[in-house]
Chains A and B, each alone.
Chain A
């Protein structure tokens, strides 16, 4: 495979594309709303109506507005200018049924289209940017040719031909990219550390164990544009001197696993992964590891234990994976979204990337907007965008006349940000100051019907269930915190219970072994900080004994037999 071959594939793919293109979402969100039947009907109808020359049907990935799925988009050239790429008219159809699909195709032969039209000029689409999701909903995840036609794998070629490994690291450092998994560690610094650590073998690991409930950014990227992640990992492998990559995917994502298998096989067949990539001395293989339902495996040391076929329990750091990772070798571990940024940074340059976002937070971030909000789905905005813009303008505010009370960010490790603070720019540091985190990008909107103590208990129960049990503060502490929260919620608690809750939160936060335990008190602490009145409203006055209606008795005598 040479560059000319790559460009050849791209040109052929573009030539074969009919002038009209119907794109049907086949990511998990729309599939569960029934998009497989819609796709079948679209294909069948195009064939039956004899439109195969004029109209193509593509099974693409996520088109962001998940609440209105199944989504279908139709691209047609505008009659006046017949040239491709210029003057394309796009239509969006939402909540498409198989019958609607038939009518969409019938529209090309002069029939009436009965499908619900969506508004591509709405704030939801207009206020978003496209870096990580630039190909999502455009390329077909199960056909590598469409990714190549979208300039895919050209960044890898450019790096192998024109860059030394050190230059790649330099470019990533200059871009200001920070880890998108939540810790926000500068990616370039991490790459440089792994690159300089000696080891006979090195590994590149992609963390796709997206366990936060209500967050599905990584799933969407993997299901919609898997080759972007493979290309990013190969570039990382070249930069740090690794020949082997692992993608650790959540077991709950069977579709992502299947599409990654397909993508790895296709890239291997074309020589874009494997030995002597682009006839260079660089070899790179990627293997897939499937998780089996353990939230703690998102923690890097636990994840590596799981890749090596062991129980996913974390180990103390240091040593960090950068020096002592998989099988004791230097290992580079990044999130899906971090790798997904890499091909674009190489293609468009570090300066371009650094021009997006704010001073310390470069680039864009994908968020999953869910909960009590009109538009739920994927949202990609530059870092530093105010929360209000995301929730009220893009999200469209609360449905059914409700009032938005808070946004929960960062999943079970994050916190709740009250509506008064919605002018806060969404950045790693500003959210941390509010006692929350950006995390991997989940945003769950809560309205006035949600009790914040119940929300805190919900997340505490999650952490309690998911604690791996290795260290005591997390294993026992989360259970006690959950009990305290339950007692408050059931109206059996007094002021001293809240004090104990705070003291225990502090202890669990500072003494747990890994991020799960250290962050488990965050939802509780942040709701205590901003919604203390909701806790206080549930408290009962008096001493514990009085609250339980016990008679006041003398203390148990000290010489009780043991």
Chain B
């Protein structure tokens, strides 16, 4: 496979890139790539780093990664869209992740999901219009002993019921909904 830009490896090109916009996070991403010696096989690790910095992967970020790792943008885009953990759209300020693994499923995780979905007026994977709450599902987080499980802003909550979960996400719901629906 021929690299799509012809510059020799290692030449500093960041400044010439219009996409970096002087955003210091691109510098940090550059450092992350340097740690992997700009190896093309470290693409997934680099995308993890990018998502951690930016919160999501937008087109300029993917283009920047493609340019620095000397990979075709199609390949970077292909990888970023293949894996579920990468998101190409921004997330809300708060996230509610409902586990839909088997142990949670047999203990009625769908009731948790439906409750939040109805109260917030969004489906799995969507963000409320005011950008407050993103609702997601995940296939097994594996603290199965305390199923059903939900993760609120990174904190794992076990043995949830629809009522207890709604109580906790109440403050993040759009105006006019109180979760009593």
Contacts and interface: CB of A to CB of B under 8 A. Distances in A.
Contacts of A456: none
Given A309-B42, A310-B79, A312-B82, A462 B139 contact: yes
B6 to A, nearest CB: 21
Contacts of B139: 211, 213, 295, 462, 465-466
B62 to A, nearest CB: 14
A291 B106 CA distance: 27
B146 A67 contact: yes
B145 interface: yes
A115 to B, nearest CB: 18
Contacts of B84: 292-294
Interface in A303-342: 306-313
A10 interface: no
Given A214-B102, A292-B85, A294-B84, A28 B143 contact: yes
B85 to A, nearest CB: 4
A210 B158 CA distance: 21
B143 A442 contact: no
B106 to A, nearest CB: 5
A214 B158 contact: no
Contacts of A445: 106
B32 to A, nearest CB: 13
Contact of A66 (B44, B86, B101, B145): B145
Nearest to B69: A309
Given A292-B86, A411-B102, A442-B102, A33 B143 contact: yes
A473 interface: no
Contacts of B143: 28-29, 32-33, 66
B115 interface: no
B156 interface: yes
Interface string B82-114: 111110000000000000111101110000000
Contacts of A39: none
B56 to A, nearest CB: 13
A205 B78 CA distance: 24
Contacts, number: 131
A368 interface: yes
Interface residues of A, number: 52
Nearest to B141: A252
A108 interface: no
Interface in A204-233: 211-216, 219
B140 interface: yes
B45 A290 contact: yes
Given A293-B84, A307-B41, A309-B41, A33 B142 contact: no
B82 A216 contact: no
Q: Identify the interface centre among B41, B105, B149, B157: most chain A CB within 10 Å of its CB.
A: B105
Contacts of B147: 370, 376
B116 interface: no
Contacts of A69: 145-146
Nearest to B140: A213
B146 A292 contact: no
A388 B111 CA distance: 31
Contacts of B83: 251, 291-294, 312
Interface of A: 28-29, 31-33, 65-69, 211-216, 219, 251-252, 289-295, 306-313, 368, 370-372, 376-377, 408, 411, 442, 444-446, 450, 458, 462, 465-466, 468
Given A31-B156, A69-B146, A219-B142, 18 more contacts: A28-B143, A32-B149, A32-B157, A65-B145, A66-B146, A213-B100, A214-B140, A251-B83, A251-B85, A292-B85, A293-B85, A306-B44, A312-B82, A370-B145, A377-B145, A442-B102, A458-B105, A465-B139
